[in-house]
Amino acid sequence: MAIRYKSIETPELEEMLADLVRQLGNGVATVSYQGTTTTYSSPAQIRIAIAEFESELIRRTRAAAGLKSTQPIIRVSYARTGNGL
């Protein structure tokens, strides 16, 4: 994925991500870069593109902070039960 977005500068990638998020409610989204337009024709496709853009931005942020991209981000979630436990 890093190679796919290598030619796109971070501010442009952030702008494209913001455009996708704004267009998510429409069900169809279009982004353009260097004369190429990509259209996402369903909310599912838009969400996948948003996740890819966010992952690339996280990778770049981690690289700028000197962290290896292979170092895991630990997320903890807790199960919720309906009986108050």
pLDDT (average), residues 61-82: 68
**Span 31-62, pLDDT tens digits:** 988 888 889 999 999 999 999 999 889 888 88
82 pLDDT above the threshold of 70: no
pLDDT (average), residues 60-70: 79
- Contact between 59 and 69 (Cβ < 8 Å): yes
CA distances from 25 to 49, 52, 78 (A): 14, 18, 30
Looking at residue 1, what is its pLDDT? 37
